[in-house]
Structure 1
Amino acid sequence: MNQQDIIDFIQQSDSPKIKYGFTDIDGVLRGKIIHRQKFLDGLSDGFGFCDVVWGWDVSDTPYDNGQTTGWHSGYPDAPVRIDLATFRQLPWEDNIPFFLADFTPAPEKQPGIHALAACPRSLLKRIAGQCANMGFHAEYAQEFEWFNFRETPKSLQDKSFQNLEPLTPGMFGYSILRPSLESAFYHDLFDLLGQFDIPLEGLHTETGPGVYEAAIMHDEVVRAADKAALFKTAVKEIAYRHGIVATFMAKWNADLPGCSGHIHQSLWNSEQTANLFYDATQPNNMSELMRQFIAGQLYCLPHITPMFAPTINSYKRLVEGAWAPTTVTWSVDNRTTALRVLNHKEAYTRVEHRVSGADTNPYLAIAAALASGLYGIRHKLSLDIPASVGNGYTDKRNGILPSNLADATRVMANSPVATELFGAEFVDHFTRTRDWEWRQYIRQVSDWELKRYFEII
């Protein structure tokens, strides 16, 4: 459908309702339902949306260190524009029309910056534009692992998130048997996501009680991020309708594997007829462009780790022997390194970024992956780091990943590389939000501390 077709469809619809949304800095989908007429009226000039969405955290608590907005600015409206190209219908809500939106520049506020600098989708669109200007078509996809529980939001609160009932018991990865216990949910995921324009390449159980993994079909980079961002909320909404709560925490239980959000990436020519990562004349079929791309990602990774590991919990997943990388490494088809090259066929030759967890904001993680790869191409970096062989956890020749959000944020906040990739305004805003997240954490007293020290110390 072209834009006029979409407008005609909305005008002729029996329903007066339109739903639109966007992700905040944490990847949480925010939005509202509006009347059809308001939608039509706002297509040319956009809408006003309270910019508090860039001034609070996942619990709606205002930052005390924000510059983008805050009590100092009075939380005014910021301009948001609906992207008609994102039109889809919500199959589990009577096919209500749904659109994604992002924020466009507003007049400068003093003090502060306009919401565009904080908007993750706007950041990715800018980097995708840089990619296109370099003559490349970026093809991306994200895959997710997540745990499912036979709970409700209320039961989670009533139980204080303890003694939760997993959807199915036991460790049973790639099970044909387990999904049959919840076949209605399992098939709803595959079918309804497809109807919502998020087609899945595959869906299966992973190892762990009630854990699923889904790979989304690849697409142009911004559309791929749109699908990944919508996937997480869509899964939760479909789960609700089956009496299930889904979590995309990176590590909800210390004794179980974490949840990844691996990013698959390749660059093609502008006509999309040739995979520029593939060269049959070179070792491992890896083109020079692919080697530069990988070199850029490895070089930039320590400078931008919070983009791939944005929460306190992210770093509980990034531990040795837990199916998540801890070293700045690459390999050919090796699941213990940060970057994994898949190269058996031109159509599927790609780089898998394995640092990213299920808790990432897809726009930010994908923007970081693409920007750092383009950095390597732009600077013609050589891939001097040998491919890891065997256990990547022991290959520390090129360094290790930060072990906590505070250290990772400190590096990024002071990094000229991060500023070159994303701009000073975004880096300032994002690292302030990560600093806030860390400060909320260190004030808390954990169950572990109570059990360890309460009586004996």
Structure 2
Amino acid sequence: MNQQDIIDFINQSDSPKIKYAFTDIDGVLRGKIIHRQKFLDGLTDGFGFCDVVWGWDSADTPYDNGKTTGWHSGYPDAPVRLDLATFRQIPWEDNIPFFVADFSPGPTGQPNQYALAACPRSLLRRIASQCQAMGFHAEYAQEFEWFNFRETPRSLQDKNFQQLEPLTPGMFGYSILRPSLESTFYHDLFDLLAQFDVSLEGLHTETGPGVYEAAIMHDEVVRAADKAALFKTAVKEIAYRHGIVATFMAKWNADLPGCSGHIHQSLWNPEQTKNLFYDPAAPNHMSEIMRQFIAGQLYCLPHITPMFAPTINSYKRLVEGAWAPTTVTWSIDNRTTALRILNHKEAYTRVEHRVSGADTNPYLAIAASLASGLYGIRHKLSLDIPASVGNGYADTSNGTLPRNLAEATQVMANSSVAVELFGSAFVDHFTRTRDWEWRQYIRQVSDWELKRYFEII
């Protein structure tokens, strides 16, 4: 639908409401419902949105170290832009029209501080443009694992997030039986997401009580990130309708597997007729472009780990034997390394980035994966690191991932590689937010500390 088609549709709609949203730096959707007339006026005059969304954390607590905005600036309005190409309707909300927004400048506008420093979708759009200028079409998809609980937001608070009731008991990955207990919810996920233009390639249980995994259909890189970002909130909203709370924490329980957000990625020619990662004459069918892409991702990974592991909790997942990588490694179809190469057929040849968890902001994780791969192509890096064989956890020859958010953030804050990938304004803003996140954590006294030290020390 072009702009006039959308205007005609909105004018003819029975509802005067339009909803739009964008992700903040943590991947949380922020937005509002506006009146039809406000929407139509904004197509010409633009929209304003309080820039506090770039000056506070996921709990709405203002940063004490922010530069992009803060008490010093008075939290003015920022220019938000609705991307009309993202038009869709929300089937579980009476088909209300919905648009993805960002803070990128319009067609003739100059980049603003929010687009350059803070807006995740704006960052990805810049990197996607670089990719296109290099002659590539980037095709991406993200998959997610998450836990479901028979709880409500109120019951979570009342229980202090303890003794929660999982949707189903026991460890039963790839079960045909378990989803039949909640077949209405299970099929609502698949069907309503498709109606919301977030079609799933597959949906199944994973190992763990009440765990599902979904793979989103691949698409052009920005559209793929839109779908991934919308997927997480859509799943939560659909779950609410069934008396269920869904969590995308990377590791909600120390005794259970973590939740991944693996990124599948490939580069094609502009006509999308040839997968540039595939070369039938090359060893393992891996083209030179693919090898450079992998080399770039491995080289950049230690410099930009917070883009894939942005929370305190992220690093509880990145431990040995937890189906998540700990080393800077790659392999052919091996689930113990950071990068897993799938190459048995041209149409499906791709790189799976396995560091990313379910708690990532899809725009940032996908931007980081694409930018680092392009870095390898741009610098013509050689893939001198041999493929890991067997247990990737044991292969520390190329280094290991940072152990916590503080370590990862410090590396990124001082990295010229990160600045080359994302620009100094973004690196400064993002690492300030991660430093804030770490400082909130170290102030807290945990249940573990109380149980271990309260009486005996």
Aligned length: 455
SS of match in other structure, 1:328: coil
Structure-2 residue corresponding to 1:150 = 150
Matched, 1:5 2:27: no
Structure 1 residue 116 displacement after superposition: 4.2
Distance in 2 (CA, whole Å) between partners of 1:95 and 1:80 is 23
Structure-2 residue corresponding to 1:203 = 203
SS of match in other structure, 1:320: coil
Contact 1:54 1:115 in 2 (8 A): no
**Matching residue's letter, 1:206:** E
**Matching residue's letter, 1:417:** V
Structure-1 residue corresponding to 2:67 = 67
SS of match in other structure, 1:15: coil
Structure-2 residue corresponding to 1:316 = 316
Contact 2:103 2:114 in 1 (8 A): no
Structure 1 residue 429 displacement after superposition: 0.2
1:15-53, CA deviations, whole angstroms, 9 ceiling, x for partnerless residues? 000000000000000000000000011012320100000
Q: Map residues 246-325 of structure 1 onto 2, 5 A cutoff.
A: 246-325=246-325
Contact 2:115 2:123 in 1 (8 A): no
Contact 1:413 1:431 in 2 (8 A): yes
Structure 1 residue 11 displacement after superposition: 1.1
Distance in 2 (CA, whole Å) between partners of 1:61 and 1:236 is 23
Unaligned runs of 5+ residues in structure 1 are none
1:117-138, CA deviations, whole angstroms, 9 ceiling, x for partnerless residues? 2000000000000000000000
Distance 1:114 1:229, change over 3 A: closer
Q: Map residues 87-106 of structure 1 onto 2, 5 A cutoff.
A: 87-105=87-105
Structure-1 residue corresponding to 2:378 = 378
Structure-1 residue corresponding to 2:455 = 455
Structure-2 residue corresponding to 1:48 = 48
Contact 1:320 1:393 in 2 (8 A): yes
Distance in 1 (CA, whole Å) between partners of 2:275 and 2:45 is 39
Structure-2 residue corresponding to 1:350 = 350
Matched, 1:16 2:16: yes
**Matching residue's letter, 2:422:** F
SS of match in other structure, 1:182: helix
Structure-2 residue corresponding to 1:341 = 341
**Matching residue's letter, 1:353:** H
SS of match in other structure, 2:92: coil
Q: How high is the TM-score relative to the length of structure 2?
A: 0.98
Contact 2:22 2:100 in 1 (8 A): yes
**Matching residue's letter, 1:49:** F
1:335-365, CA deviations, whole angstroms, 9 ceiling, x for partnerless residues? 0000000000000000000000000000000
Distance in 1 (CA, whole Å) between partners of 2:113 and 2:124 is 18
1:188-232, CA deviations, whole angstroms, 9 ceiling, x for partnerless residues? 000000000000000000000000000000000000000000000
**Matching residue's letter, 2:286:** M
Structure-2 residue corresponding to 1:242 = 242
SS of match in other structure, 2:265: strand
Structure-2 residue corresponding to 1:401 = 401
Q: How high is the TM-score relative to the length of structure 1?
A: 0.98
**Matching residue's letter, 1:205:** T
Please say which of residues 423-432 and 41-50 is displaced more in the overlay: 41-50
Distance in 2 (CA, whole Å) between partners of 1:167 and 1:105 is 44
Distance in 2 (CA, whole Å) between partners of 1:337 and 1:309 is 16
Distance in 1 (CA, whole Å) between partners of 2:217 and 2:240 is 24
Q: Map residues 357-436 of structure 1 onto 2, 5 A cutoff.
A: 357-436=357-436
Structure-1 residue corresponding to 2:191 = 191
Distance in 2 (CA, whole Å) between partners of 1:265 and 1:416 is 25
**Matching residue's letter, 1:378:** R
Contact 2:115 2:122 in 1 (8 A): no
Q: CA RMSD in A?
A: 1.3
Contact 1:67 1:113 in 2 (8 A): no
Distance in 1 (CA, whole Å) between partners of 2:397 and 2:280 is 29
Structure-1 residue corresponding to 2:177 = 177
Structure-1 residue corresponding to 2:165 = 165
Structure 1 residue 158 displacement after superposition: 0.1
Contact 2:151 2:243 in 1 (8 A): yes
Contact 1:323 1:335 in 2 (8 A): yes
Distance in 1 (CA, whole Å) between partners of 2:134 and 2:223 is 19
SS of match in other structure, 2:27: coil
SS of match in other structure, 2:93: coil
